[in-house]
Amino acid sequence: MDTDAGAVSLRQVDQRWELVCPTRPELVAVPNAYLGYLADRNYSPRTVRTYGFGLVAFCRWAYGTGKDVEAVSTDDLLSFLSACRQQVVAGRGGPNVVDLAGRRTDRLAPASVNLRLAAVAGMYEYLAMRDPSRISPVPKGRPSSWFAQGERSGLLAHTKRRPAPRSRLRLRTPRRLPRALTPSETRALLASLRSRRDLAIAGLMLYCGLRSCEVLALAVTDVDIGGRWLLVHGKGGKDRRVPLDGDLAAAINAYLLTERPDTDSASLFVVAKGPTRGQPLTPAGLRTIFRYHRARSGVGAGAPHALRHTFGTALAEAGVDLAVMQSLLGHAHVDTTARYIHLAPTHVKASYDAARTRQRDTSS
């Protein structure tokens, strides 16, 4: 991508994210208005930041090609898509290094490119909202037909979601099944954890299915140890109540009584030592903890989200109802939860063997 990397940057000012371009400030006027619009709509700061980085890449491309953001055409957006596909990521292996699928590892992943394209498409939808006579350069595809089973019928059929046109400005991405840890990997990873805090964090992911951001968002008052319930603050500002395992409740209680330092912070998990002792544990701090214990235990796949996948897989193998799984995992759509059904080899094999037995009995 032919850009000046230093021409456009992203910064946070007064809890808001904005793009900066000293040499062409008019280039970032529309992107900044769009980021302000997202903040006014109460999008999470993390989402606004992600969209901001996508718009940084787009504005850097526009800066390098001499384009005006408000005068971009569909052909220009397709050129930006091609530039994203050809961009070389610094610090990765050269063109001779490929993954198992034969793709170069020094290029952006399709999901990363789609994040940029989603930010750009949202910005032009925002411009079209401000001026209905304006024609958006984002090419539209066929309407989406993403419906859950039973959503089109019944007494509440009138409440079904209307299919929205999907943008053709996106890459096809492989849909991989979530990777769960094996029992031996789980035991090895948990055995490497020494502090009660780290055991409680891993337990909340493994036995309650919490995301890492949900673990860090927990306050002390969100944990009902006696009643064994958790109030989880999920993605998109959606709260849910999750039952708390008895042994995990005891581990959290032991952490609160013996390890958690005296602090004014309301966060459940705080830094245990060092200059930031008593301050809320950060995402970077959580990643450091798991990175250290992955190396110590030899479980390379032991990332925080793998523990959540292990929880979902265990529910599927136990035959838990899909709607209950969706509620526990906090998924917005049941299709996301259904992926875990494909990870229940015990039940799949049992059903397959039973069907084959019936076939043999019928044919004999």
- 117: nearest Cα among 171, 197, 47: 171
Cα–Cα distances in Å, from 93 out to 89, 108, 147? Answer: 9, 12, 41
Give phi and psi for 180, each to the nearest 5.
-95, 155
Q: Give Cα 175 distance to the centre of its chain.
A: 14
- Structure-token match 């084959």, residue found: 356
Tokens encoding 346? 């015990």
| 264-275 burial: b if 16+ Cβ within 10 Å, else e | ebebbbbbbeee
Rounded to an integer, what distance in angstroms lies between the CA atom of residue 313 and that of residue 311? 5
Cα distances (Å, whole numbers) of residue 27 to 40, 57, 87, 162 = 22, 12, 21, 35
Please give the single-letter amino acid code of residue 2. Answer: D
Contacts of 342 (CB under 8 A, 6+ apart): 177, 348
Alpha carbons 253 and 44: distance in angstroms, whole number: 31
Instruction: Give residue 146's identity as a one-letter amino acid code.
Output: W
- Catalytic residue numbers? 211, 235, 305, 308, 331, 340
* Phi–psi pair at 223, nearest 5 degrees: -105, 115
